[in-house]
Every structure is written in structure tokens, then in C-alpha cells.
Structure 1
Amino acid sequence: MIYFKQIQDWIADYPLLWSIGKFLILASIILVIIKFLRSQLKKSIPNTVIRYKSQKGVEIIGYVLLVIIAITYFTGTIKDFTLIIGLFTAGMAFTLQELILSIAGSLYIFLVKVYEPGDRIEINEIKGDVIDVDSVYTTMMEIGEWVSSDNYTGRIVKLSNAFVFKGPVYNYSKDFPFIWDEFNLPIRYGSDIDLAKSIVIDIASKTLSEFTTNSKSQWKAVVNKYYVEDAQVEPTLAITLTDNWIQFNLRYIVDFKKRRITKHILNDSIRAEIEKTNGKVILASTTLELIKIPELKIGINKQT
């Protein structure tokens, strides 16, 4: 009883500290509940996308509830909510401009759907796949840099959401998850050009048929949604005459995540078919070829 009386006296002497302590206990309980719900959703939802969005929803709801409880707890009423938010915003706008811009950027990303987890984007000269978007940062798995094509570097990049207001955002997968790609083939002069064209077009049509079919309907939706002219999604071949060889330029559409492997398949298949032509079609190169050695005539003057 004596200890209980001492605790009551201490509470009476320090009511503010007691209020803060009760709030911290309440906040801790809410945070524990958020963590528990997130872990339960992770175990019970097999679908990765639905699981991620559910966990994010629980986290956002929990934090909003925590802010509302904090305001009502220390003010005693919700009527001062607008005034408190106004004063808070004015102070934070001066001292934490970048943070506020990041939070505004996260709202912009969410409402306008600039990008979402799973999209491949380029922002602030950084390319990668979006793996998380929170209230301050966008987290990306980086691609490119010191590795060729669209391979992962292994580095995870955290980028402020404020960058959506500071420059362009390139989205490889929004609305239309396909991109156009191309490569050149140098064909030696004197080759059977018609045969070479048929080889390239046949292989491209067979290899890319799935991408071509799937992209047609989605490209029509893009044309209907945006002010953009219709484009050809079938593989196209253009020929250019150069000083050294006949250049074949193959342009085609491909899934944005399968660009590298598709280019490999096309190049390897075309190479194999060209080798079967027994010299009718020959790939050119920049190496020098000596066609004929000029005859040398040496004259000797005999002096008597």
C-alpha cells in the first residue's frame, strides 16, 4: 500500500510525464498490432501482389490511426485537428522541405499511378525494377550500369519520391509492357540478298509471334487512350548500302523483361541458318581481306 501511495503521489506531481508514458504504451500496442497483422497476412495470402498491397494498407491505416489518437489524446478533442495540422505544416514546410516534397511525391505516385511495384522505370538517370514504394522513398533493383543489357547489378537503390517532380519518369511497362528493339546484321556484297532477307524475316516472325500477338490489342488500347499514331508491331527489316557491306536492320517488339534473351535467340538462330546456306549468304566484318597480290616487275640494268 505504501508503494501504491508513492506511485499515486508521483503521478500527481508529474501529470505530463504520466500522460506521455500512457501514450507511449498505447502507441507500442498499436505498433505491435500492425506488426502482428502484417505477419499474419504474409502467412495467409499466397499471391505476392495482393499480399504486398494488404500489408501496405494495414501499415498506412495503423499510422493514420496513431496520428489521430495522438492529436485527440493531447488536445482532448478533435476540433483542434485543423489548427494543429496547419501549424505543423507551416513549421515543417520551412525546416523539412525535401521530406514534405517526398511525401507529396508519394501521394502523386499513388493517385496518378506514375508507377507501382513491378514496373521497370528510369528516374534521375537510374534504371531499375520498382520493388517498394513507401511514404518517402521508392526502392528499386538497379539494372544496367557496369553490366550489359537489362541485367540486375545486385544493388538496391532508395530514391526520394520528390524526384517525380524534378524530371521525367520513363516507365517501361505502364499501359504497354512491350518495347521496340533492333539490331544490325552486316551482309557481304555478292551474297544472295533475297535468301538473306527471307532467313531474317522467317526467324523473326517465328521467334516473335507471341509478342506480336499479345502486343496488338494492348497497343490499340494505348492509341485509344493517348494522342499517338498507330504503329506497326510486326517485325520489320530495312536495308542500307554502306561502303563495306549491306546492312540489315531488324526492328521488332518484345516484352520489356525479355529483351536480352530474345536478342540472343534471334542472333543465334540467324547465324545458324546463314551457315547452312553453304556460302550463299556471308556475314561481313571489318577485317581486311587481301584479294590479290599485285605483280612485281623487277628490272636489272647490266652495265658493261
Structure 2
Amino acid sequence: MAGDPSQKNADHPAATPAPPAAGGAGAALRAVDTTLPGETGQAPEGDPALVENTAQAVDAAVNQADRAERSDVGKSTGPAVAQQKRWPKLWFVVYLVAIAALAWTYPLIGSGYFNLPEEYAVPARRLATVLLVAALMRAAVTLGEVYLARSIHDAADRYDVLKVANLAAWLVIAFVALTQLFDRWYTAAASLGLVSLVLGLALQGPLSSFFAWIYILVRKPYRVGDRIQIEDMTGDVIQVSYLDTTLWEFGGPYLSTDHPSGRVIKLPNSSVLNKPVINYTWPLFPYRWDEVKFHVAYDSDLEFISGVMKQAVDEEIGHQMQERVGAYRRLLAQTPVDTLHVREHPAVLFRVSDNTWVEAIVRYLVHPREAGSVKTRLIRKLLAQLNAAPERVQFPRSNMR
């Protein structure tokens, strides 16, 4: 007889390390640790009271963590956050000082105040022009970052706008430098075009990634804060730069649960052009289907098990699931997809397992970042209620070691 396969279904979230800061992204990635001290990861057997007490303790811990997380929403705490807010303002002051100094120096150079020889005066004025334009552009970008970007409430959109503004500023600075530092700048531009052609052939990968970055901005296959999967890589997007995307990995080869692995993945932006992107947090419908399964004996009361599983999941997330399915149906109504099979309540299915047991499966809708904690609460609750009726629910048992 096989061992207790139902114990393998209890996904216990591991302690979640803090993710790295995403320079300007500001995406906080959190998970709740619902593993109790001394827990072995196995389902308790034979003592319904102990199971019930354990379930209540876990629920209390999760609810307390959820309340603490909600109370922190919108708050900026810690010296690191304050320092991030101070730095743009400090740079803005530096740029203003540079603009004032260059604006004061430029006419003095032209008037001969510094007694520079003519062969040095002209290059000095041109260099001052380039530096003045550079300071003006950087000050404008910093001003937008500190004040104007606050009108964009979505953090991901704000991140994209600042990326585009930075790129535009550097392009303007490069153009002004080209026109000021070269007498025949169009000849230099033609030469630069030939060089760019050669470099383009040699740097096809980086150029493809840059154009893929533009594609990401326009088509939005993912944004900062989304949970995505590209091939076998899954994680939360914490940065989208001009050439690559950075993921805070979830799952991975070392974990069997949907929790942070502690690893950071960098992949070229060009991946979105030739590989499928799975987005688990699509803004219009940021949910996915999940399931909890148990193995039961053939002589178990399947109707009783179905009723218990439906009721337990309904009590836990029934109201939220109805709202989410309603949103799902409204989206599908705009497509030719039939919506009759989309249920507003958890569905319980049974199928014969390969190891001579019956699999009891309950499916429900959940937010990807809540999948681990919700599954843990449901497993605790279901075990408590099913173990309370041993004469109607027969779980696999074995004394083999």
C-alpha cells in the first residue's frame, strides 16, 4: 500500500527573503510565512481537535499578517526610502547651480573677460553650450521625476515614462554635442552613420533588445510588478531596462511551492519577440485557477467529500471568487469564447489515481501572490473537517517506513 500522498499536497510557504530594490521601480514583493514553529510539513492524523486548533492558529497568524500588510500600504518607512526621495531633489539643486554658473560664464567667454585666445574661445563657448543644454535637460527630467510624475498614479506607467524621458534627454544632449563640437556636423553624422551600420551588424543582439524594449512599452506584454513566465523562468518583474529585464524568481528548481527562491534572473528584452510570455497578473484579470487535491479510498462518501470541500472553499474565498468570475465573464463577453462553463463557485472533481486511490480535487480562483497562503489555509481547513468524519472519509494510511 502506498504511503500517505495527501501529505504531499500541503504546500507550506517558506520564509520569504526581502527582494532587491528595483532602482526607481518601487515594487514591493511580499509573502506571508504561515509555517508554525515545530511544524514538520505533514498532515496530523487521528486527532481532530489538534487539527482544528492548528488550523485556527494558522488562520489567526495569516489574518494578523494580512492586517499588518494592509496597514503598511501607502506608507514610506525606513531611512532607505527617505534617502531615495531626497536624492532626486538634491540632484535638481545641483543642476540648477550648474545652469546658473554656465549661464553666467557663457557671456563672459564671448566678451573676452577671460582673455582666452581665439582658438580656445570658440571651443570654450561651444563646450559651455553643450554643458548648459545637458544641465537643462537633466534638470527637466529630474523635475518631472520629483513633481510631474506624481500625477501618474500607476507605478509601472510612471517607471516607463521616466525611462522614455531619460532616453529622450540623452538623445537631445548627444545631438547638441554633435552640432557644437563639429564644424561640419553633417559630415560627422554621415561618418557616424557608416560606423553605426558596421556596429549594427556586429551588435544585432543588443539592438534587438533595445527595439524589444520599445515593443514592451507600446504593447505592454508585461510591466514592472507583473508576475510572468518565459520558458522555464518565472518571477516578478522588478526592472525593465533598455536592454534587459530583471525578474525576482519564484519557484525554481529548488522549491516545490510558489514562493521566492532568492535568485534574480536577467534576460534580454529580445526574448519577448520570439518566445511566449505568460503574464499571471494581467491588469484586466490578475487571477489564476488553482486547486487542492487529496487521495481518498474508493469506499469513501464522495458526495460528503464534495459538499465539505465546496463549503470550506466558499467560506474562505467564495465572495471574492464570485466577483472575480464576474469580471472574467465580462472580459469573455467581448470575445467569441463561450462563458457558460465558467462557474462562480468552487468546483469539485473526482478522478481515479494511478495508485488505486481516488483523487478529490477542488478548484478555485486566486491571485497569484496569494496562492501559497490561500492553499495552506484551505488544506488546514479541509483536513480538519474531513478528519472529523473518519467513518465517511478514508485517507491513505500505511505503517511502512
Q: Which moved more, 1:135-144 or 1:190-199?
A: 190-199
Amino acid at match of 1:266: L
1:224-235 equivalence runs, <5 A: 224-226=333-335, 228-230=337-339, 231-233=341-343, 234-235=345-346
Amino acid at match of 2:210: I
**Aligned pairs, number:** 283
Q: CA deviation at 1:63?
A: 2.4
| Structure-1 separation of matches of 2:303 and 2:166 | 62
Partner of 1:154: 262
Alignment partner for residue 350 of structure 2, among 235, 239, 246? Answer: 239
Q: Which has the bigger relative contact order, CA under 8 A and spacing at least 6?
A: 2
Q: CA deviation at 1:232?
A: 1.8
1:42-57 equivalence runs, <5 A: 49=155, 51-53=158-160, 55-57=162-164
SS at match of 2:225: coil
Who wins on radius of gyration, i.e. which is larger? Answer: 1
Q: Deviations over 1:147-168 (max 9, x none)?
A: 3322112333222111112311
Matched, 1:198 2:307: yes
Task: Provide closer, same or farther for how the CA distance between residues 253 and 51 of structure 1 changes in structure 2, counting only shifts above 3 A.
Answer: same
Higher strand share: 1
Partner of 1:188: 297
Amino acid at match of 1:62: A
Partner of 2:329: 220
Amino acid at match of 1:190: D
SS at match of 1:173: coil
| Structure-1 separation of matches of 2:364 and 2:191 | 57
Q: CA deviation at 1:262?
A: 1.4
Q: CA deviation at 1:68?
A: 3.6
Partner of 2:73: none
SS at match of 2:384: helix
Task: Provide closer, same or farther for how the CA distance between residues 154 and 23 of structure 1 changes in structure 2, counting only shifts above 3 A.
Answer: farther
| Structure-2 separation of matches of 1:193 and 1:118 | 41
Partner of 1:269: 381
TM-score by length of 2: 0.60
Q: In the alignment, is the contact (CA less than 8 A) between 2:160 and 2:217 conserved in 1?
A: no
| Structure-2 separation of matches of 1:96 and 1:186 | 55
| Structure-1 separation of matches of 2:128 and 2:362 | 69
Partner of 2:75: none
1:7-26 equivalence runs, <5 A: 7-8=116-117, 11=120, 18=124, 21-22=127-128, 25-26=131-132
Q: CA deviation at 1:269?
A: 0.5
Task: Provide closer, same or farther for how the CA distance between residues 227 and 46 of structure 1 changes in structure 2, counting only shifts above 3 A.
Answer: closer
Q: CA deviation at 1:248?
A: 0.8
Task: Provide closer, same or farther for how the CA distance between residues 44 and 117 of structure 1 changes in structure 2, counting only shifts above 3 A.
Answer: closer
| Structure-2 separation of matches of 1:77 and 1:112 | 39
Q: Which moved more, 1:25-34 or 1:39-48?
A: 39-48
| Structure-1 separation of matches of 2:279 and 2:291 | 19
Amino acid at match of 1:182: E
| Structure-2 separation of matches of 1:276 and 1:42 | 60
| Structure-2 separation of matches of 1:73 and 1:67 | 10
Root-mean-square deviation (CA, aligned residues, Å) is 3.6
Structure 2, unpaired ranges of 5+: 1-112
SS at match of 1:258: helix
Partner of 1:33: 139
| Structure-2 separation of matches of 1:113 and 1:186 | 42
Matched, 1:93 2:200: yes
| Structure-1 separation of matches of 2:286 and 2:242 | 26
Q: Which moved more, 1:174-183 or 1:47-56?
A: 47-56
| Structure-2 separation of matches of 1:188 and 1:241 | 10
Structure 1, unpaired ranges of 5+: 290-304
Task: Provide closer, same or farther for how the CA distance between residues 99 and 255 of structure 1 changes in structure 2, counting only shifts above 3 A.
Answer: same
1:165-184 equivalence runs, <5 A: 165-174=273-282, 175-184=284-293
Q: In the alignment, is the contact (CA less than 8 A) between 1:172 and 1:179 conserved in 2?
A: yes
Q: CA deviation at 1:43?
A: 11
Q: In the alignment, is the contact (CA less than 8 A) between 2:224 and 2:237 conserved in 1?
A: yes
State the percentage of identical aligned residues: 22
SS at match of 1:208: helix
Partner of 2:240: 133
Amino acid at match of 2:174: V
| Structure-1 separation of matches of 2:390 and 2:224 | 50
Amino acid at match of 1:91: V
Q: In the alignment, is the contact (CA less than 8 A) between 2:285 and 2:327 conserved in 1?
A: yes
Amino acid at match of 1:118: G
Amino acid at match of 1:181: D
Amino acid at match of 1:171: N
Amino acid at match of 1:247: E
Task: Provide closer, same or farther for how the CA distance between residues 201 and 85 of structure 1 changes in structure 2, counting only shifts above 3 A.
Answer: farther
Q: In the alignment, is the contact (CA less than 8 A) between 1:140 and 1:158 conserved in 2?
A: yes
Q: Which moved more, 1:32-41 or 1:269-278?
A: 32-41
Task: Provide closer, same or farther for how the CA distance between residues 97 and 236 of structure 1 changes in structure 2, counting only shifts above 3 A.
Answer: same
